[in-house]
Every structure is written in C-alpha cells, then in structure tokens.
Amino acid sequence: MPSYTLSPMFDPQFVPGAVAALPFATTGNPTAVPAGAAYQIAVARVANVTNQPVNLTLWRVPQGAAADNQHLVVPQIAFPPASASFPWMDLSTLWGIVLQPGDSIVALASVAAALVIHADGVIVGP
C-alpha cells in the first residue's frame, strides 16, 4: 500500500542562468524523481528579486527525454520585479502535475540569481 507524505518539492532556490534540472527538496536533493516514488506538485511560485523584468522558461522532462519544445510547460515569460502588490507569481501550470521516476523539472532564467522558485506537494512511495 503506498504512503503519502506532504513535502517541499523545491526549497527556495534561484532559477539557474543556464538550462538545468532543479534539485528536489527530498533526501539527497536529486534532480530526477527517484525509483519507487512519484511526486505531485501542489503549488509552485516564483519571485523576481531584482529591479528589472526577468524571463523564465520551464520544461517538464520525462525520463530519457530532453528539455525541448515538446516538453515546454512555461514558454519564455517575463516576470516583473516583486512588489508589495505582487510579491510573487503563481506557476499554476505546474500545479497538480505528477512526476514519475526519472522525471525532472528543468528551468532557465535570463538572469542568474534573479528568480527564486519554490514548490510544495506530495510524495507517493511504496
């Protein structure tokens, strides 16, 4: 019978300035879902900590696939600087997705150390 654990999926971290898989906030900080588990993202947010718009691109990459247009979930979108009115933006395109073993979320920011991403969800394991 599977077990369900509420967990951070991504601890707050900067989106890299080069295309790279985001490390999950689980044991060992893997960049792909480990064997025997499934991750479901419940909520994800991004904040721009600079004073200029910064572009974000995200891919949902299944095991053995590449970060290409077929796996694009957030095309290049400019995120405005955080403000009192909009301290973060929801990444609702990730909400509810289920990642299987070997799957990853790959990200790219047009400026390194500018966008902070974090997410919470559920780990399903044996």
pLDDT value of position 126: 63
* Domain range enclosing 78: 3-125
pLDDT of 84 > 90? The answer is no
pLDDT tens sequence across 20-65: 999 999 989 999 999 999 999 999 999 999 999 999 999 999 999 9
pLDDT value of position 125: 82
**Per-residue pLDDT averaged across 84-108, rounded?**
95
Q: What is the CATH number of the domain that holds 32?
A: 2.60.120
How many separate domains does the chain show?
1
- Cα separation, 36 vs 55, whole angstroms: 34
pLDDT range class, residue 1, cuts 50, 70, 90: low
DSSP codes of every residue in 78-115: EEPPP-SS-S-EE-GGGTT-EEPTT-EEEEEESSTT-E
pLDDT range class, residue 78, cuts 50, 70, 90: very high
pLDDT of 19 > 70? The answer is yes
pLDDT tens sequence across 103-124: 999 999 999 999 999 999 999 9
Q: What is the pTM of this model?
A: 0.93
3-state secondary structure of 53: coil
